[in-house]
């Protein structure tokens, strides 16, 4: 169980590392202005401020919060992938909003489920979570080479 959780942390944070380091460059290469890039990047956290607590409340009130995580794990990465194909400003803005709705809440909800599992079955949360930090840097470093 802890291996799967560690692997999950590695890949989810790895995707974030690549996204945060290279997304602005991608948008600039697509021909967006600095103002458009700023608007696209601002959309993600602004929408997430409302979406993340909403998903959290849904997970907390559910008898099985894993359905919330599964929903987010389907639509979050889908939004992430579709964003790479967006070449129109309004499409990218919409997909950035979808990222805020579906991708950002994944980590806190997953953390909650992992902490619940550690509490019930034992395990070392820190030893699993460190793989998220490793995953954040290694893929971005490899892509930069």
Contact 139, 17 (CB under 8 A): yes
Asked whether the predicted pLDDT for residue 11 surpasses 80, the reply is yes
pLDDT score, position 16: 87
Structural domain including 90 reads: 2-144
Packing angle of the helix pair 106-121, 34-61 (nearest 10 deg)? 40
Residue located via tokens 């995953």: 135
Residue 143, pLDDT > 90, answer no
What pLDDT, in 10s, does the model give residues 15-46? 888 888 888 999 999 999 999 999 999 998 99
Q: Are 19 and 142 in contact (CB under 8 A)?
A: no
Give the CATH number, domain containing residue 84.
1.20.1250.20
> What pLDDT, in 10s, does the model give residues 53-104?
999 999 999 999 999 999 999 999 899 889 888 889 999 999 999 999 999 8
Domain count for the chain, please give it: 1
3-state secondary structure of 21: helix
Structure tokens at 112: 């909650």
| pLDDT at 135 exceeding the cut of 90 | yes
Q: What is the DSSP string of 40-104?
A: HHHHHHHHHHHHHHHHHHHHHHSS-THHHHHHHHHHHHHHHHHHTT--SHHHHHHHHHHHHHHTT
Would you state the pLDDT for residue 21?
84
């Amino acid at each position: 169980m802890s291996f799967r959780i560690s692997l999950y942390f590695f890949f989810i944070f790895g995707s974030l590392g690549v996204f945060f380091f290279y997304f602005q460059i991608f948008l600039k290469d697509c021909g967006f202005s600095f103002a458009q890039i700023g608007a696209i990047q601002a959309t993600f956290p602004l929408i997430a401020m409302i979406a993340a607590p909403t998903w959290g409340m849904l997970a907390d009130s559910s008898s099985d919060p894993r359905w919330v995580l599964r929903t987010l794990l389907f639509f979050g990465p889908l939004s992430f992938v579709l964003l790479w194909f967006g070449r129109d400003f309004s499409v990218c803005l919409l997909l950035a909003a979808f990222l805020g709705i579906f991708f950002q809440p994944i980590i806190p909800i997953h953390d909650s489920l992992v902490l619940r599992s550690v509490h019930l079955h034992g395990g070392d949360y820190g030893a699993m979570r460190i793989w998220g930090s490793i995953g954040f840097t290694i893929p971005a470093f490899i892509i930069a080479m």
